[in-house]
Chain A
Amino acid sequence: AQSVAQPEDQVNVAEGNPLTVKCTYSVSGNPYLFWYVQYPNRGLQFLLKYITGDNLVKGSYGFEAEFNKSQTSFHLKKPSALVSDSALYFCAVRDSFKAAGNKLTFGGGTRVLVKP
């Protein structure tokens, strides 16, 4: 079984400060990891993914994420947050084991509030 934990329901940060959203995962095989963002009354927008290779992945809108296999973590980061980054962020995992299919398992989400 695969699972994702996002330990913080909400993260508050001042504009211009660094932003970190935490995610840990559990899968049987090697993980494929994804971050999505959701704005009010909207679907999910893809930010970035880790499949293999460099542990630091760069994505859309200045976001990046660091894969840490030993800690089974995939934290989302942004060096300088903007007010427009305020949204709901979801971490998701897919098991690379083919029989697991390619369904995504999501965490519960972290609400980010960036204050001016």
Chain B
Amino acid sequence: DAGVTQSPTHLIKTRGQQVTLRCSPKSGHDTVSWYQQALGQGPQFIFQYYEEEERQRGNFPDRFSGHQFPNYSSELNVNALLLGDSALYLCASNTPGMVDEQFFGPGTRLTVL
């Protein structure tokens, strides 16, 4: 049973560029959340997708956008990259039940130069 997978593993971009990160949820899960983890900090919630719609959003600017596909996989897009966007981006999936824990992927390490 494959867990949550993310691609790519690492990414290097320059300021002003755009980036797309990808996530496939754990088998049986239909809800995907994205988190940003800056160095030395805890993960910060970006947004959550369920039934191909953004259901909840954290305190992130509109430069951060996402998408969920019919197979439940998801993309995170970041436009006009800033140096401060350098972080580990984590994808998590779960079933829609509120009591269920989220399962996390290994993350994508984004470096903005």
Partner of A103, one of B4, B40, B41, B56: B56
A108 with B41: CB separation less than 8 A: yes
Q: In the complex, what residues of B have CB within 8 A of residue A42's CB?
A: 106-107
Contact among A44, A94, A96, A98 for B104, CB-based, below 8 A:
A44
Interface residues of B in 64-108 (CB under 8 A from A): 90, 92, 94, 98-99, 101-107
B48 x A109 contact (CB < 8 A): no
B:1-21 near A, CB below 8 Å: 4
Return the contact of B101 from the options A49, A90, A106, A107 (Cβ within 8 A): A49
Whether a CB of chain B sits under 8 angstroms from the CB of A104 is yes
Interface size on B, residues (CB 8 A): 27
Distance in angstroms from A36 CB to nearest chain B CB is 7
With an 8 A cutoff between CB atoms, is A86 at the interface? no
Q: How far is the CA of A49 from the CA of B4 in the complex (A)?
A: 19
Chain B residues at the A interface, C-beta cutoff of 8 Å: 4, 31, 33, 35, 40-45, 48, 55-56, 58, 90, 92, 94, 98-99, 101-107, 109
User: Which A residues fall within an 8 A CB radius of B?
Assistant: 4, 32, 34, 36, 41-46, 49, 51, 90, 92, 94, 96, 98, 101-109
